Amino acid sequence: MGMLSGKHALVTGGGSGIGAAIALALAGEGARVTIVGRRREALDAIAAKSPSIGVVTADVTDEAAVASAFTEATKARGDISIVVANAGAAESALFARTTLDQFERMIAVNLTGVFLTLREGVRVMAGSSWGRLVVIASIAGLHGHAYAAGYSAAKHGAVGLTRTLAAETAGTGITVNAVCPGYAATPMLDESVARIVKKTGRSEAEARKVLADLNPAGRLVEPQEVADAVLKLCSPGSDGVTGQAIQIAEGAVA
């Protein structure tokens, strides 16, 4: 029996990295967990690690697919009381060279996907006296990041959505918060490392150090650290914490 026994949590982007760590952490505290994503194979690999985790495939940028995912998850595992909007993607380019397609892709996944997930989450929690909505944003949502116009704009929007929904749900027992990691050791970062290697000729280790050094402590955030923050937001005693953008950023200050 864990502190989340009897709760059902839905986590988007749960097939790898931070999303997978969150799903396993929630399951470890007794929650029934549904992980949502586009790649069934990756989702199944995480679900195989815990009997408490189920799988639903969906694209978070598709309105009908998000609604269907919530319906399917509820039918399979019961009412949802924890929603973690984690699905995201990153691309980088000099601002003047950023295409409209690139910009719109970043907005679609990192902002529209969060909006659709939060909206469905607050709908299924309507009338409940307890609920937790958590957005995995980024320190890029609190200050600008060079070469990441679309990503940074979307993450700023995600933090804004968090604060707006927190204001609307204040006093209902439903809290809404954002967790904002710095550069983290995830598959998304691996893609950034590969781009640096390709463009600069640096070794993989050198490229990884470049990104780690962007965190003040000079090391990458571990997915488990983000998962631990999510657990705290869902734990007893967290009722008064809402509308916050909590940094897990190795000393970065927005």
Domain borders along the chain are 8-182+222-247, 183-220
b/e per residue, 223-234, with b = 16+ CB within 10 A? bebbbebbbebb
| Rg of the chain on CA atoms, in Å | 17
Residue 209 confidence class, pLDDT cut points 50, 70, 90: confident
* Higher pLDDT, residue 227 or 221: 227
CA distance linking residue 114 with residue 107, whole number of Å:
10
CA distance linking residue 138 with residue 194, whole number of Å:
21
Residues tagged active-site: 151
Average pLDDT over residues 35-45: 97
Average pLDDT over residues 104-127: 97
pLDDT of amino acid 192: 78
- Closest by alpha carbon to 82, among 124, 113, 127? 124
Q: Which fold would CATH assign to domain 8-182+222-247?
A: Rossmann fold (3.40.50)
Q: What is the pTM of this model?
A: 0.92
Average pLDDT over residues 97-111: 97
* Higher pLDDT, residue 190 or 100: 100
pLDDT of amino acid 253: 63
Query: Nearest-5° angle of CA 148, CA 151, CA 154?
Result: 140
- Closest by alpha carbon to 190, among 223, 229, 163, 160? 223
